[in-house]
Chain A
Amino acid sequence: MFNYILRRIGVAIPTLLVLATISFYLMYTAPGGPFTSERPLPPEVMANLEAKYGLDKPLYQQLGIYLWNVVTDFDFGPSFRFKDRTVNDLIETGFPVTLTYGFWAFIFAVVIGVSLGAIAAIKHNTAADYAAVSTAIVGQVLPNFVLAPILVLVFVLWLGWLPGGGWQGGQWQYIILPVIALGTSFLASIARITRSSMLEVLNSNYIRTAKAKGMPFRYIIWRHALKPTMLPVVSYLGPAFVGMITGSFIIDSYFATGGIGVHFINGALNRDYSVIMGFTILLGGLTILFNLVVDILYAWIDPKIRY
């Protein structure tokens, strides 16, 4: 197990380095630097600015210095577009917000998705099953950027129950809509995966044995069926996490929650290189870390996996 974890980390770190290097070089092949504007700066000023931000050094040195700062001080450097803010400021203000609604969306999707899927499988071919299956289908064609406007239309404009955006320090009214908008499509996928997995498990021999020896149905589900059912669900959690990170771009732009998503998108629209770099590394790192955790979890649940 320990070796397996080590080996996975051994793959994860180069992956992250490759991600950082590729995006770094791509950034600098782009036409126009961070200081190009409609009125070109005098060459001396330009040279000074470039010296200040270290842009006059060779590229590989810049990359080296940048990565060194990130690793040792967790310092992503200043924002090129807004001179008074550093990338770290943006991360500090945005990250707790994204983490909060992301966490609840994750819980929402997993808890309701698994329950829905399990109920559908247990009550196979009944009204409850069909209801769950149709929910899963509808959830799949309602991605976050479609669901968000619909939710706002119904709960904000028509019913007036909830605020249509903002964060206000994370009061519950402001969290509900982002969580539902972000979590629903993953809830649908998790429900679908759980259902088919549970159906397969319930048809297996050892469940039949448990039934035959007269074990109460509740025990069969909780003790014997649930754990193997969760295997495909766990392996879906990695992609789900990636989807939620990209979904946060939509949530933050649409609900004005002020999370990291909106900073990344603004950075992209403004060609703010250091911000894009910083967030790419941060989000890429998180993704890789999360995939690592999921893989370890999977290896831990599934006794068939040999490391």
Chain B
Amino acid sequence: MLTHTNKKVSELAENMASETVSGRSLWQDAFHRFTRNKMAMAGLVVLGLIFLFALTGPFIAAWSYDDIDWAVMGNAAELGQPSFETGHYFGTDDLGRDLFARTVQGSQISLMVGIIGAFIAMVIGTLYGAIAGYYGGRLDNAMMRLVDILMSFPYMLFLIILLVIFGRSIFLIFVGIGIVSWLDMARIVRGQTLSIKHKEFVEAAIASGVRPMIIVLRHIVPNLLGIVVVYATLLVPQMILTESFISFLGLGVQEPQTSWGALISEGAGTMRYGTLWQLAFPLFFFIATLLSFFFVGDGLRDALDPKDR
């Protein structure tokens, strides 16, 4: 411990002696902290590979995601195994459709739902929380009470009702997931807003006559970005989970489109016939993505959230 500190101190002394000290911004600091976190960097690399897979997959796949290989159909357990000769790198599903192409397609949809859903939640939650926190008083009370009430709603029921009534569509899943998942974000942002709204730069803005809404957008929100980014990253896997949950139940994306949840559901339904690859490939991508997002999110939190340091 002592030698460690000594080493640090001497390093610091060396650094200070050798170079002119240039100030580091908050974001540079965070960047350094993040790159030092091995798990987070590994997560980032894995995520990069998965995105690459989702984007370049269609060009590599020998089959289209909705084409049926008639030679395989009906005997997927024996003929549909993963092999490079047939062009089915991940095998086929029960109907003889190429699982590689379907996994690519599923990855695209799941990742898209995750990112767009998190983005919607981020925008709504940030604005809502910042406005409630900044204006305070009665407005704050009413707005946060509404959040409390919505939070105790079993929102999955609500989402399922929406899907039943307006028909199943990707768009509705985006909206449905987005509109119910901003609540946590709103709470977090409100808390942060409360703590920065009495800072000098906000007072200066008030003193120079900036309108309240402009203060929120120009001065409050940019200073919240760190925490918003952290929770947005942690929201993405939540979104993917929710979408997969709904697709697993058969209420999500429509055939022939697919998503990880739908693929896992199909694979789980057929695994007793020995077609394990139908479960294994989608499951691998699903778990790898969630793990990576969690690690990256944790890394970002350590890097950006001053509270946890």
Enumerate chain A interface residues (CB-CB to B < 8 A). Answer: 11-12, 15, 18-19, 22-23, 26-27, 29-30, 137, 140-143, 145-146, 148-150, 152-153, 157, 164, 238, 242, 245-246, 249-250, 253-254, 264-265, 268-269, 271, 276, 279-280, 283-284, 287-288, 291
Q: Are A269 and B165 in contact (CB under 8 A)?
A: no
Q: Quick one: CB contact mask for B237-263 with A, threshold 8 Å, 1 for yes? A: 100010011001111000000000100
Between A22, A149, A150, A164, the greatest number of chain B beta carbons within 10 A of the residue's beta carbon is seen for A149
Q: What separation, in Å, do the CA atoms of A130 and B267 have in the docked complex?
A: 32
Q: What separation, in Å, do the CA atoms of A254 and B283 have in the docked complex?
A: 17
Name the one of A157, A264, A271 contacting B271, with C-beta atoms under 8 angstroms: A157
Q: Are A145 and B248 in contact (CB under 8 A)?
A: yes
Q: Are B264 and A137 in contact (CB under 8 A)?
A: no
Q: Are B165 and A15 in contact (CB under 8 A)?
A: no
Name the one of B154, B251, B265 contacting A268, with C-beta atoms under 8 angstroms: B251
Q: Which residues of B contact A279 (CB under 8 A)?
A: 157
Q: Are B248 and A271 in contact (CB under 8 A)?
A: no
Return B200 CB to nearest CB of chain A, in Å.
31
Q: What separation, in Å, do the CA atoms of A269 and B249 have in the docked complex?
A: 10
23 inter-chain pairs at a CB distance below 8 angstroms, sorted by A residue, are A15-B149, A15-B152, A23-B157, A26-B165, A29-B165, A137-B294, A141-B237, A143-B241, A146-B264, A146-B283, A149-B271, A153-B271, A245-B154, A245-B156, A250-B249, A265-B249, A265-B250, A268-B163, A268-B164, A269-B250, A280-B154, A280-B157, A283-B154
Return B186 CB to nearest CB of chain A, in Å.
16
Grouping DSSP codes into helix (H, G, I), strand (E, B) and loop, the B interface class, with mixed when no group exceeds half, is helix
Name the one of B153, B154, B279, B287 contacting A149, with C-beta atoms under 8 angstroms: B279
Q: Are A141 and B161 in contact (CB under 8 A)?
A: no
Q: Are A250 and B248 in contact (CB under 8 A)?
A: yes
Q: What are the 4 closest A-B residue pairs judged by CB atoms, nearest first?
A: A149-B268, A30-B165, A246-B156, A141-B290
Q: Which residues of B contact A253 (CB under 8 A)?
A: 249
Q: Are B291 and A137 in contact (CB under 8 A)?
A: yes
Residue of B nearest to A277 (CB): B161
Q: Are A145 and B264 in contact (CB under 8 A)?
A: yes
Q: Quick one: CB contact mask for B161-174 with A, threshold 8 Å, 1 for yes? A: 11111100000000
Grouping DSSP codes into helix (H, G, I), strand (E, B) and loop, the A interface class, with mixed when no group exceeds half, is helix
Residue of B nearest to A242 (CB): B154
Q: Which residues of A contact B160 (CB under 8 A)?
A: 264-265, 268, 276
Q: Are B245 and A27 in contact (CB under 8 A)?
A: no
Q: Which residues of A contact B245 (CB under 8 A)?
A: 143, 145, 246, 250
Q: What separation, in Å, do the CA atoms of A276 and B160 have in the docked complex?
A: 9
Q: Which residues of B contact A283 (CB under 8 A)?
A: 154, 157
Q: Are B244 and A141 in contact (CB under 8 A)?
A: no
Q: Which residues of B contact A280 (CB under 8 A)?
A: 154, 157, 161
Q: What separation, in Å, do the CA atoms of A223 and B290 have in the docked complex?
A: 38
Q: Are B249 and A287 in contact (CB under 8 A)?
A: no
Q: Are B164 and A141 in contact (CB under 8 A)?
A: no
* In the complex, chain B residues 54-83 whose Cβ is within 8 Å of any chain A Cβ: none
Q: What separation, in Å, do the CA atoms of A89 and B244 have in the docked complex?
A: 31
Q: Assuming A141-B291, A276-B161, is B154 touching A284 (CB within 8 A)?
A: yes
Q: Which residues of B contact A145 (CB under 8 A)?
A: 244-245, 248, 261, 264-265, 268
Q: Which residues of A contact B294 (CB under 8 A)?
A: 137, 140-141
